[in-house]
Amino acid sequence: MLKLAKKYWQSTDRLYFLLCIGCSVFAVLVLLSIGKYHLGGFQVDEVGGTRSLGGYRQAVMQAAASCAGIFCAVVVSLLDYRALAKLWPVHAVFTWGLVATTFLRGRRIAGITFGYAPPGTDNHSWILLPGFSLQPTELAKISFILLFALHLETVRERINEPKELTGLLLHMLLPVGVIHFQGDDGTGLIFLAIGCMMLFVAGLSWKYILSAVAAGVSAFAIVLGFFSDKVLKSYQFMRIMAVFYPDDPTYAEFTYQQNQGKVSIGAGQIMGRGLFGEEHNYVVNSWNDFVFSYIAEAVGFVGCMILLAVLLTIALKTLSIGLRSQDKLGVYICTGVFAAFSWQIVINLGMNLGVLPVIGVTLPFLSAGGSSVLMLYLCIGIVLSVYSHNKTTLFGER
């Protein structure tokens, strides 16, 4: 067994894997700190005895999800990514079948709540199980990347023909529409970014790209100016406007969280206050969407630069593994994973810095969320499959 483990370790991209694991270890430490300062620590009874994990539950769940994800990444990396892509009828039906159950909107069956919406949101994209929750759209990202990559490889020579391009656009926009009706536009935006970047790498003509950009900007301006009440929910419109008018008291309710986040980021200064050094400023959802603000206060500017350098390295290595693939399928898959990873980082940082509206996009590896962590490691496993199956097998040179 140890011999097999050694051979596997020699055949995989060790730096890539270690950087991902390092991010997960750091995430657990951050969530332990948040559990102590923001979530009240252990829940105790009237005589001081510990009753439950209380505020530390997020950290424990993150650690468990990370361990499960690392194991899944190893297993998936041993499988040929080409076979995984061709198994699309299995994973597409399974993942999108789970997504479909969320449209039951809060219906409880056999102790499971389908279409669960966390307090304070109308995002019904969760399935609430005993002890934990699952967001099926996170798993659907993986299926989408694999199937869209296979679609692109099939039509790569004809991608700019109107018939083939129409099919690709329908393939890309249908999941976005389904997720929109769930109420999770942040995730829908990530799906759109994944599809667009994969199309770009596949060789989409610049005339289509420039036309799409112009149409998108125009449509956004028209919707925002004339049809916001018909297309956007009221809180979505207010969040967008709050970015443009952060000091307007009209939007004070929607700038509060971001203002708190910016105060925390500034409080970290150069070296930070430390994860367990002293009391931290309170930020709403500091364990999830606004974990970067908490991290910035804890480790300061220097620590943030190191963290962002690690995340950038992971993103670039994902792309470089794809570019060295012997077939286009590997290129497209790694591009999809790179797009999911990098755009989530960009959007989440924009939310924390107050330059983008709050749309519920998490920071990869670091935000609390078992579904998100598991999805990331499954993606990492697929990328490592592209790496190993274009270099060596488990038992020697290919």
For 12-33, give the DSSP string: S-HHHHHHHHHHHHHHHHHHHH
Whole-angstrom distance, CA of residue 34 vs CA of residue 116? 25
Which ranges of the chain have pLDDT less than 70?
Answer: 40-54, 120, 227-230, 391-398
Please tell me what DSSP assigns to residue 160. Answer: T
Which pLDDT belongs to residue 397?
44
Q: Are 292 and 368 in contact (CB under 8 A)?
A: no
Which pLDDT belongs to residue 315?
96
Which residues are bridge partners to 44 per DSSP? 50
Which pLDDT belongs to residue 120?
64
Choose among 155, 167, 171, 197: nearest CA to 92: 171
Whole-angstrom distance, CA of residue 393 vs CA of residue 126? 38
Q: Are 334 and 30 in contact (CB under 8 A)?
A: no
CA distance to 11, 14, 180, 318, per residue, from 17 (Å):
12, 5, 33, 11
For 186-239, the pLDDT digits (tens) are 899 999 999 999 999 999 999 999 998 998 889 888 877 776 666 777 778 888
Which pLDDT belongs to residue 41?
66
Classify strands 126-129 and 132-134 as parallel, antiparallel or unpaired. Answer: antiparallel
Which residues are bridge partners to 134 per DSSP? 127
Q: Are 205 and 161 in contact (CB under 8 A)?
A: no
DSSP E strand stretches across the chain: 43-44, 50-52, 107-109, 112-116, 126-129, 132-134, 392-393, 396-397
Which pLDDT belongs to residue 142?
94
For 14-41, the pLDDT digits (tens) are 999 999 999 999 999 999 999 888 776 6
Please tell me what DSSP assigns to residue 186. Answer: H
Choose among 304, 314, 306, 313: nearest CA to 353: 304
